[in-house]
Structure 1
């Protein structure tokens, strides 16, 4: 059985999950293409797959509008917004201990939280 820490880390660990959540933390509502344009080197297939878990875990709200062409927006839920301060603390910790090894980008731009 997983403990609460493992549950939490599963939700926002991985290469793309924290980036997606961070992008949405800096906007009210974003369409799929807007999310994709704010994350370097993510493919459509990876973004679509990466959105499934945070949506099903109610971290991200997917809002469909009955329009033509179809309009879908994504935003953080209350549950999703509750982790913003955690990301900020992790970012501050990373600023203190981060070592640039030329294969990493700046941690602040990675998290997109200032």
Structure 2
């Protein structure tokens, strides 16, 4: 649970499944309302855990791309049943919250 702890990590993982590699700005748009500081912090933690690969290209201006490692892909596969559960039960959860 420590690997995906935080509001944004799961959203980052889902966003990285949309393409083979994402640049920072594209990733920020895909994730949504996250600040640059928090996105950077969460990406560093995911990279330190071996979930995300950060590749820096020696260009001017520098280009950095993020992608899932095989470990990250397997984590996303483990999260898919949780997503399916959420989609299936969201009407019940929303009804309980409004009651």
The TM tier, using the shorter chain, reads 0.7 to 0.9
The structure where helix makes up a greater share of residues is: 2
- Between 1:16-25 and 1:93-102, the stretch displaced more is 93-102
Pair 1:79 & 2:71 matched: yes
List gaps (5 residues or longer) in structure 1.
1-8, 103-114
What is the root-mean-square deviation of aligned Cα atoms in Å?
1.3
Provide TM-score, normalisation by structure 1.
Answer: 0.77
For 1:18-29, what aligned pairs fall within 5 Å after superposition? Answer: 18-29=10-21
SS at the partner of 1:61? Answer: strand
For 1:55-74, what aligned pairs fall within 5 Å after superposition? Answer: 55-74=47-66
For 1:26-65, what aligned pairs fall within 5 Å after superposition? Answer: 26-65=18-57
SS at the partner of 2:31? Answer: coil
- Between 1:84-93 and 1:71-80, the stretch displaced more is 84-93
Provide TM-score, normalisation by structure 2.
Answer: 0.87
1:45 Cα offset (Å): 0.8
List gaps (5 residues or longer) in structure 2.
none
Pair 1:95 & 2:95 matched: no
Kindly provide the CA deviation profile for residues 31-86 of structure 1, in whole angstroms up to 9, marking residues without a partner as x: 00000011221111111111111001110000011100001000000100112221
1:94 Cα offset (Å): 1.2
Q: How many residues align?
A: 94
For 1:11-22, what aligned pairs fall within 5 Å after superposition? Answer: 11-22=3-14
